[in-house]
Chains A and B, each alone.
Chain A
């Protein structure tokens, strides 16, 4: 039976770690160790990425629909509206390669940030007494929550911050906007 891509990667790591690393000069060892660690992390990434990208794109398209609704059809940038239609059509096409999914994901990330920035601008001019319940504010909170969760799902294939958390939260939210 042919070795899987993961078994071949593991074999390469073993060869580099056991045969090559001991022969490498001291000032290059750190880089070789980093390369070995990256091969391990990238194997995890390759394993998870296709399914994860499909899920993330679907979630972001859904979020964009909610953002457009909150901004109002007349209130949203028309180029962004057009991009949203094109991305949705592209996503529905079957048999996409990983590289095509990555390109689509990148485009939708830009769209999500465009819409979030428009939502932020709208929230900024809302009267104080309407802020808690406003549609743009709820969707903006959903945007942050979604982006945070999607990022968290990717922290398992990095080795820089073993705990994965920077600035761990110490404040208790006073209220939760649009959660569930």
Chain B
């Protein structure tokens, strides 16, 4: 018989959630909600332990529950993400093992998925805490994980994602441009940059699976420093250089670029591991795109959520950083006009 333990971890909201989760997934026993985690822009994420019926080893298993909000806009659905994770996991890529998924017709009310909880910390936190004594080595392992992803056949997930990826520059731009337009923002720099991207869009010759949010805090490090890639909701088929530009956007002392290697070293390592040459003109396109995408994400957080949901100050605060994005866009556009764009 399944019983929700009445002890501390299941207090309050967690207790109600544990009971509903157990009803929704009969394979779970002894659900213990541990804590709500920060996470994606349109999902709610909980850490919990539970026993899985039918397993020989009947110890509690560390798990993650992700529930979809009603107002998810730019993330893929959890059902698609679950299928994507399943296929990537089967190839041996370092991703969490997905276990259960359901739509709206369960006791939880909204779509959800359950995946294994990796025993590890996000790379940025490991670095900030002074862990990772060999930063260069860890950096190389993160580049290697990205190179492995980009080596996968795009056809692996082609039936899950719209488009064949050849039109990814225009398609991705249209998606984020719509988010900016819906926000009502009138930034001159964002509009000029968006126009520049439309004018300079191109066709991707060899589309690959793109993570879409590859940065240190979306990569968990296990105790043996092995990386595990999480947060796949922005994945799509497109240009691998898009992932490189997005990774290069994050340059705190605890990030892959500037924290573990310089931008030049990052690109060289990627080129070495993939045997390719990164086209610097395409890199510029994706850098400008990355800034526009980041602005769109921040502006989305400023919108009043539908259905009486209260705006979150953590999201509102991101909107204050739009001038940082405009400054960087002005810099890149000026350098492009002047004919000097470094890595």
Identify which of B12, B36, B189 gathers the most chain A CB atoms within 10 Å of its CB: B189
- Cα of A113 to Cα of B187 in the assembled complex, Å: 8
In B168-226, the 8 Å CB interface with A consists of: 186-189, 191-192, 195-196, 199
- Pick the contact of A41 from B12, B35, B199, B320 — CB < 8 Å? B320
Q: Are A109 and B186 in contact (CB under 8 A)?
A: yes
Q: Are A151 and B334 in contact (CB under 8 A)?
A: no
B317 at the interface (CB under 8 A from A): yes
Q: Are A165 and B314 in contact (CB under 8 A)?
A: no
Q: Are B338 and A30 in contact (CB under 8 A)?
A: no
Cβ of B53 to closest chain A Cβ, rounded Å: 30
- Pick the contact of A110 from B12, B191, B335 — CB < 8 Å? B191
| Number of residues from A at the complex interface, CB < 8 A | 54
In A6-37, the 8 Å CB interface with B consists of: 25-27, 30-32, 34-35, 37
In B300-343, the 8 Å CB interface with A consists of: 312-314, 316-318, 320-321, 323-328, 330-335, 337-343
Q: Are A38 and B327 in contact (CB under 8 A)?
A: no
A98 at the interface (CB under 8 A from B): no
**B134-177: contact bitstring with A at CB < 8 Å (1 yes, 0 no)?**
00000000000000000000000000000000000000000000
**A93-119: contact bitstring with B at CB < 8 Å (1 yes, 0 no)?**
000000000000010011011001100
Cβ of A152 to closest chain B Cβ, rounded Å: 5
- Report how many A-B pairs have Cβ atoms within 8 Å: 148
For A27, list chain B residues within 8 Å (CB). 35-36
Q: Are B327 and A173 in contact (CB under 8 A)?
A: no
Closest to A142 in B: B334
For B333, list chain A residues within 8 Å (CB). 144
Closest to A175 in B: B338
For B32, list chain A residues within 8 Å (CB). none
Q: Are B330 and A148 in contact (CB under 8 A)?
A: yes
Closest to A32 in B: B313
Cβ of B81 to closest chain A Cβ, rounded Å: 23
- Cα of A175 to Cα of B201 in the assembled complex, Å: 26
Interface SS of chain A: helix, strand, loop or mixed?
Answer: helix
Cβ of A177 to closest chain B Cβ, rounded Å: 6
Given A120-B199, A137-B337, A169-B342: A106 and B186 interface contact (C-beta under 8 Å):
yes
Given A152-B327, A165-B324, A170-B342: A144 and B187 interface contact (C-beta under 8 Å):
no
Cβ of B326 to closest chain A Cβ, rounded Å: 4
Cβ of B125 to closest chain A Cβ, rounded Å: 15
**B253-291: contact bitstring with A at CB < 8 Å (1 yes, 0 no)?**
000000000011000000000000000000000010001
Q: Are A166 and B192 in contact (CB under 8 A)?
A: no
Q: Are B188 and A112 in contact (CB under 8 A)?
A: yes
For B188, list chain A residues within 8 Å (CB). 109-110, 112-113, 116, 147
Closest to B196 in A: A120
- Pick the contact of B334 from A30, A106, A123, A148 — CB < 8 Å? A148
23 of the cross-chain contacts (CB-CB < 8 Å) are A27-B36, A34-B314, A34-B317, A41-B317, A106-B186, A109-B186, A120-B192, A120-B195, A141-B337, A143-B192, A144-B334, A151-B325, A158-B321, A158-B324, A159-B320, A161-B324, A166-B249, A167-B251, A169-B331, A170-B263, A171-B340, A172-B340, A176-B338
